[in-house]
Chain A
């Protein structure tokens, strides 16, 4: 169990993490979601006592990280796949970690086996591909067989098979009663793995909810249709007590109804339909809406006017602009 209480981190005038309080519980996968620069990695570094919080506390099973006796045997973390010495072999990189916490040497071979790197155990980690580096980082997290595991964007650079593997691994680890905390920018990825969801934007907590709840509340379903007799159809709709939102290219989106009901309504009024389909807004959209106000680094596309960040302590000083991209 990890408990955060009012965790705050300032970098100069920049507030990277802003009064975060939440609890990561055992026995499930907790997804930690936020757009680029939201403060996920900074929060995780503070959990591991690598960055000093400006204020607030983190407790791991009730204790401060520094009070853990042999930390790797309580908590394992993958922060940055490249956080190893490239000139050292994968085996030796893990061995020196194992020795620091009296983990038996045979465990090094075991975890290399688990992540599928046995064949390159004696190779310098410098030559590893992105995915292999990620696997080595996961191996180091598993080394002490800890009850808490923390992964910062573990699927980064993994191929589809690797992504499937890490998903299965995380679920299995959670099933054993461990606490799994995993960050991502991808809602779709989290929907497949996480049981609980914590969303942050610009360092602030935006949501702390179960995955099922989030899906239930945020997956809006609607009917999409096109018709050459637009005005007549809109009249018919309002007659039936329904409203339509107008999307691009003359597409209408109707909430709170079904394809069956709308098809019959059109037939009743002798209106020609060119398209009629049931749609479900993706969780990705829900996530983007939730964080829209706190996204720091917008790509400025030609037609979609960017939402100016309405809140936030200071206007981003160095948001990249790719005009006309």
Chain B
């Protein structure tokens, strides 16, 4: 070993904690989880890539539209351009959400974590909260700035206040909730690659399956539901353009909230019951 060895321990003898023992609570777990998430480089990388992708795609599209110089369609606002960036960025959020939980299982850290905080529900709640706030904030700042640039670059109809709210806060909520779903799935499957694969499947399979079924008249209804409720369709819906009778606007955000609640519920049930 290359470390200087301390001489045969004067062990922890003298240490007396200045703080009397009291029941640990969510606040302590939140502080702990915040330290965890900010102290690994992969978190910052994943968020960085998300910001970069959303910015480049958003501004690139705006520049493209301006260069082509097509007359802007009057019925939709410029903010709709943000959908491509948000869709790409959400893949990063899914990854980060899953990793927040699965990296602990992968490394064995979860055992150490749970000896410090034996309430498993509290650990998962703290993780979910810290992740959600971080993902939402990062998304909101990026989406907001990109939207401002897009509106400035492309001349079209000025978005209404409601459209602004949906195109920034709504979209960021949607993306962060998608990440929360991934975190819940991660708590169930406990495996990074597995969780991310399941989430990508959840996002894309309904779309693919829906398109395949379009040909068959018998499956017409199923196909429509799959297409309308697929994650990309809902994300488009947040910007106000519903696919068929699917959810639009805040309805799409609410649907995502429901999905995230189910996934997190499953996560809580799994982490509470099983051996680690």
Contacts and interface: CB of A to CB of B under 8 A. Distances in A.
A211 to B, nearest CB: 21
A218 interface: no
Contacts of B109: 83-85, 93
Contacts of A89: 39
A179 interface: no
B68 interface: no
B35 A95 contact: yes
Interface centre among A71, A79, A168 (most CB of B within 10 A): A71
Interface residues of A, number: 66
B24 A69 contact: yes
A103 B24 CA distance: 11
A88 B11 contact: no
A169 B40 contact: no
B36 interface: yes
Interface stretch (B90-98, B111-119, B186-194, B251-259): B111-119
A49 interface: yes
A30 interface: no
A83 B118 contact: no
Given A80-B108, A102-B24, A116-B4, A145 B12 contact: yes
A65 B275 CA distance: 15
A48 interface: yes
Contacts of A72: 115-116
Interface centre among B13, B22, B41, B109 (most CB of A within 10 A): B109
B9 A114 contact: yes
Nearest to B23: A69
Contact of A71 (B8, B11, B111, B116): B116
Interface residues of B, number: 49
Interface stretch (B25-33, B171-179, B227-235): B25-33
A171 to B, nearest CB: 10
B88 interface: no
A267 B125 CA distance: 83
Given A70-B24, A111-B12, A173-B11, A84 B107 contact: yes
A162 B8 CA distance: 9
A118 interface: yes
Interface in A34-61: 45, 48-52
Interface centre among B19, B112, B273 (most CB of A within 10 A): B112
Contacts of B23: 69-70
Given A102-B24, A116-B4, A83 B11 contact: no
B9 A102 contact: no
A138 to B, nearest CB: 10
Contacts of A297: none
A97 B4 contact: no
A119 interface: yes
A104 B6 contact: no
B171 to A, nearest CB: 30
A70 to B, nearest CB: 5
Contacts of B273: 52
B107 A119 contact: no
A87 B115 contact: no
B103 interface: yes
B42 A96 contact: no
A110 B15 contact: yes
A200 interface: no
Contacts of B36: 85, 88, 92, 96
A306 to B, nearest CB: 32
B18 interface: yes
B15 A145 contact: yes
A303 B42 CA distance: 54
A176 interface: yes
A85 B5 contact: no
B17 interface: yes
A87 B41 contact: yes
B218 to A, nearest CB: 44
Nearest to A97: B116
Given A84-B107, A165-B9, A107 B39 contact: no
Contacts of B107: 82-86
A101 interface: yes
A33 to B, nearest CB: 22
B67 interface: no
Contacts of A93: 109
A155 B56 CA distance: 53
A7 B36 CA distance: 34
Interface string A160-180: 011011001100110010000
B3 interface: yes
Interface centre among B1, B28, B40 (most CB of A within 10 A): B1
A161 B115 CA distance: 29
Contacts of B116: 71-72, 97, 100-101
A100 B118 contact: no
Given A79-B111, A83-B111, A100 B24 contact: yes
10 contacts: A79-B112, A83-B109, A87-B103, A96-B32, A97-B116, A100-B29, A101-B116, A165-B5, A169-B11, A172-B13
In the complex, the 4 A-B pairs of residues with the closest C-beta atoms, listed nearest first:
A92-B39, A83-B108, A100-B32, A96-B35
